[in-house]
Amino acid sequence: APAKDTSADVPSIMQSTSPPVESDAPARSPKNVKTMRQNLELHWQISSSDSECDLEADIRSCSDPCPTCHGSGHVECRFCGGTGFFTIGEKVMGGGKVCPICNHDGEEECAQCKGSGWVANWRQTNLTGLEP
């Protein structure tokens, strides 16, 4: 049996090796344009950064200690307030039951750095001035 021609299933923009011309380009909504501008700005910030970072050598060369957990990777449990026990307000509930969130540790993973203790040392800036 002859091979099925799948070229009709692939959008013309993906078949071409040359840059898309205006007629091939997908519709550019204000949201898509804003996202493209933010990505371009972020790329520029990273490529023009004063800091020299080498991710392969050491992740810390491209990171700063997390300002939320101060580099520990953990923060006080928001459910038990660091007590390690199931509490409601100021009162320990259930005869000293272990906190179901932190499992009696009193700490939980930092949401800012996802427990690594480090955050990227480049930042995406607010690009409200670039809105179409």
Q: Which segment, 45-49, 67-71, 95-99, is predicted with the most confidence on average?
A: 67-71
Q: Dump pLDDT digits (tens) for 58-96.
A: 555 667 889 999 999 999 998 888 888 876 666 656 566
pTM summary value: 0.44
Q: Which segment, 8-12, 14-18, 72-76, 116-120, is predicted with the most confidence on average?
A: 72-76
Domains of the chain by residue range: 30-121
**Looking at residue 98, what DSSP letter applies?**
B
Q: Which of 5, 117, 1, 3 is nearest to 60 (CA)?
A: 117
Contacts of 6 (CB under 8 A, 6+ apart): none
Find where tokens 């910030």 sit: 45
Q: Which of 72, 73, 78 is nearest to 100 (CA)?
A: 78
Residue 32: which H helix or E strand, with range? helix 30-47
Q: Which amino acid is at 46?
A: I
Q: Dump pLDDT digits (tens) for 18-27.
A: 444 444 455 5
Alpha helices in 1-132 (DSSP H): 12-15, 30-47
